[in-house]
């Protein structure tokens, strides 16, 4: 059985760009993709701006009919109610967000998020028809102590335990030591772990789920290394931090098919 998984190029802006900067940036991305006649039918592009930018991004995307998806970088596990400072999936859904990042390593380490909480946040997103991009990955210490795949597999298993049957999710494998370090995993290393993740989710949720679920690699992705990652059978896209803040670089990454020579 072979399913065609549409490649997904996702830009995680982290805490960068206020709403005015976001408007200028998204406009430039729109022009740039237009100029290069980017094939959005075959490569999906999604950006993850800060919460305060989402309304502006929505307005621009709608007005200019940009075929760029957008999502949030976090979501509450709760529905609307007395949770000061939190943002409910219901609000994101009203803003047209199609995706939300859950379990990014910066949230795991700076906010102490557990796999159980990440699972609950992902489930809250799913209830509103929003696809969670569930991040997993090992630290340098984990890598040393247990090898690359052990921790990501354990994280995927624990997060999936909180989700309903046959959910629509994306999994992002992001080795923590590769994030923002300029030191990406090799394509072979990334394939090994993404392949193991696909095997694990197939074991847990069946073949159709394993086949349809997109698995991304993240960690120091740039235009020079994207093609190698995208050639791997179990890597369906990338989650990009630093390089997603530069119009030209992000556009070049989205054009990865041009650099692939098989």
- Closest by CA to 172, choosing from 3, 51, 11, is 11
Rule CB under 6 A: is residue 241 a binding residue for ligand PGA? yes
- Which residue stretch of 34-42, 92-100, 158-166, 215-223 sits at the interface with ligand PGA (rule: CB under 6 A)? 215-223
Number of residues that bind ligand PGA (CB under 6 A): 13
Rule CB under 6 A: is residue 218 a binding residue for ligand PGA? yes
Rule CB under 6 A: is residue 8 a binding residue for ligand PGA? no
Q: Give the CA count within 13 Å in the CB-facing half-sphere of 142.
A: 17
User: Residue 147 has which token pair?
Assistant: 């090898």
Active-site residue flag, 207: no
Distance CA 251, CA 120 (A): 33
126-165: which residues touch ligand PGA (CB under 6 A)?
none
Rule CB under 6 A: is residue 225 a binding residue for ligand PGA? no
In the chain, what are the helix, strand and coil shares in percent, each to the nearest 5? 45, 15, 40
Q: Which is nearer to ligand PGA, 104 or 200 (CB)?
A: 104
Instruction: Say if residues 235 and 8 touch (Cβ distance below 8 Å).
Output: no
- Closest by CA to 239, choosing from 106, 110, 146, is 106
Active-site residue flag, 104: yes
Quickly count: other Cβ atoms within 10 Å of residue 141's Cβ. Answer: 11
Residue 103 C-beta: closest distance to ligand PGA, Å: 11
Q: Which is nearer to ligand PGA, 89 or 240 (CB)?
A: 240
Task: Please give the residue ranges that form the binding site for ligand PGA (CB under 6 A).
Answer: 12, 174, 179-180, 218-221, 239-243
Enzyme catalytic residues? 104, 174
């Amino acid at each position: 059985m072979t399913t065609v998984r549409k490649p997904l190029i996702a830009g995680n802006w982290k805490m960068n760009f206020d709403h005015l900067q976001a408007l200028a940036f998204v406009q430039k991305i729109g022009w740039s993709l237009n100029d290069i006649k980017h094939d959005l039918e075959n490569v999906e592009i999604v950006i993850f701006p800060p919460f305060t930018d989402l309304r502006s991004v929505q307005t621009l995307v709608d007005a200019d009919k940009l075929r760029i998806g957008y999502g949030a970088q976090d979501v509450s596990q709760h529905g609307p109610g007395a949770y000061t400072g939190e943002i409910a999936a219901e609000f994101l859904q009203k803003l047209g967000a199609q995706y939300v990042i859950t379990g990014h390593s910066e949230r795991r380490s700076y906010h102490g998020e557990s796999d159980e909480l990440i699972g609950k946040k992902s489930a809250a997103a799913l209830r509103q028809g929003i696809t969670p991009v569930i991040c997993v990955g090992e630290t340098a210490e984990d890598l040393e102590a247990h090898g690359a795949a052990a921790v990501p597999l354990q994280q995927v298993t624990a997060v999936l335990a909180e989700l309903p049957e046959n959910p629509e999710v994306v999994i992002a494998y992001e080795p923590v030591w590769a994030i923002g370090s300029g030191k990406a995993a090799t394509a072979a290393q990334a394939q090994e772990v993404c392949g193991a993740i696909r095997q694990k989710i197939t074991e847990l949720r069946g073949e159709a789920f394993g086949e349809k679920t997109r698995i991304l690699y993240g960690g120091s992705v740039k235009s020079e290394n994207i093609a190698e990652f995208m050639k791997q059978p179990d890597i369906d896209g990338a989650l990009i931090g630093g390089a997603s803040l530069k119009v030209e670089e992000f556009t070049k990454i989205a054009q990865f098919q041009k650099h692939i020579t098989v």
